[in-house]
DNA sequence: AATTACATCGGAATAATTACGATCTAGGAG
DNA sequence: CTCCTAGATCGTAATTATTCCGATGTAATT
């Protein structure tokens, strides 16, 4: 999705476009990877030094509620955020070091169907499927 | 795995069995579900009121390193811990309200193979696959 | 029973996230 | 274009989860 498409979609939902929100969106759209809240803050502060964490978190959760951002909970309790370029749901291959993510072509739907049959009493609301490892660049540095 | 099996396995690894560790193990073995660190602390304090968070966290990560405990990162950044009853890797159906978990019979190995072929440059170290929802009991109360 | 390496306690430090009152501003109305 | 107002932001403080640390205690070996 382009920045303009995103903006008009936001306007359509009655969301105000502030310079801070615009900058956060630019950061998210710039690179296809998971960002920590702090990374986003730092990048936005390069242009708007006064931006606060509050704004970053509020904007991220706003975008998440609207389906434009995906949140991932890494092992160790680290949360990261990525722009949801497509509308349809998909999974990721994620680098544990730099946060780079690659979209995956497959989704374990077969498993899901089996599970729904096996546990009809359970109200399933969602699932996670992420593959972790180290990308080409991060394998070279010692990864700990 | 029974408590005794677990204890002898720990002794075999040179781990001291303290009353606190014993109590934490009893809590984990009692019920098949994910616990937050705080829940475990509370339960252990029923018997040993002086136990500290430090001990709980240290013990959990000790058990995790030894493969006896699994850690899961819930949406929202909540970390929870469960005893790993079996040695072989498996996934869970998890209740977002009470933490109850049911072991799943299937693992998306098909997907994994496809992905390995598609991204040979990526060093895969692990994957997560969890299904979220509400268990029978928690559907009745308003779930938010 | 003595020894000692490792555990624990309690509280303080750190880190991540959320809350809040005062101030500011995007975008619609006139 | 200017005014108006709901909603956004700032700066900071509060909250929450987790980790650290020095003093003390203890499991298990000798």
Q: Which of A131-140, B27-36, B61-70, B120-129 has the lowest mean pLDDT?
A: A131-140
Contacts with B106 from chain A: Cβ below 8 Å: 110-111, 114-115
Q: Please report the pLDDT score of residue B87 as a whole number.
A: 66
The CA distance from B8 to B4, in Å, is: 6
Q: Please report the pLDDT score of residue B85 as a whole number.
A: 85
Q: Which of A50-64, B15-29, B50-64, B81-95 has the lowest mean pLDDT?
A: B81-95
Q: Please report the pLDDT score of residue A144 as a whole number.
A: 43
Query: Is B29 in contact with B35 (CB distance < 8 Å)?
Result: no
Residue B38 pLDDT exceeds 60: yes
B127–A contact, CB cutoff 8 A: yes
CA B51 → C1' D29, Å?
A: 26
Q: Please report the pLDDT score of residue B141 as a whole number.
A: 58
B50–A contact, CB cutoff 8 A: no
- A15: which 2 tokens? 């969301």
Pick A124's closest partner by Cβ from B73, B105, B131: B131
From first to last of its 144 residues, what are the pLDDT tens digits of chain A?
A: 899 999 999 999 999 999 999 999 999 999 988 999 999 999 999 999 999 999 999 999 999 999 899 998 887 788 999 999 876 788 889 887 787 888 888 889 888 999 999 999 999 988 889 898 889 988 875 444
Q: Please report the pLDDT score of residue B125 as a whole number.
A: 86
DSSP alpha helices (H): ranges in B84-142?
109-118, 136-140
Which of B105, B122, B133 is the mutation pick for testing A, counting most A CBs within 10 A? Answer: B122
The CA distance from A85 to B129, in Å, is: 22
Strand order in the sheet with A101-103: A101-103, A92-95, A123-134, B123-134, B92-95, B101-103
Q: What is the pTM of this model?
A: 0.85
The CA distance from A88 to A50, in Å, is: 35
Owner of token pair 């998210």: A28
3-state secondary structure of A19: helix
Query: Is A135 in contact with B122 (CB distance < 8 Å)?
Result: yes
A131 exposed, middle or buried (CB, 10 Å; 0-12, 13-18, 19+)?
A: buried
- Kindly report, residue by residue over B69-118, the tens digit of the pLDDT: 999 888 778 899 999 987 678 888 988 777 788 888 888 988 899 999 99
Query: Is B72 in contact with B34 (CB distance < 8 Å)?
Result: yes
The CA distance from B88 to B94, in Å, is: 19
């Amino acid at each position: 999705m382009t920045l303009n498409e995103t903006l008009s979609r936001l306007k359509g939902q009655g969301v105000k476009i502030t310079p801070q929100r615009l900058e956060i969106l630019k950061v998210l759209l710039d690179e296809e990877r998971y960002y920590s809240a702090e990374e986003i803050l730092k990048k936005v502060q390069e242009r708007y030094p006064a931006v606060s964490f509050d704004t970053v978190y509020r904007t991220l959760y706003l975008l998440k509620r609207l389906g434009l951002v995906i949140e991932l909970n890494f092992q160790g309790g680290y949360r990261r955020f990525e722009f949801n370029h497509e509308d349809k749901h998909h999974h990721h291959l994620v680098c544990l070091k730099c946060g780079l993510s690659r979209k995956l072509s497959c989704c374990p739907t077969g498993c899901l169907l089996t599970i729904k049959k096996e546990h009809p009493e359970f109200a399933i609301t969602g699932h996670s499927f992420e593959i972790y490892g180290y990308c080409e660049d991060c394998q070279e540095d010692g990864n700990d």
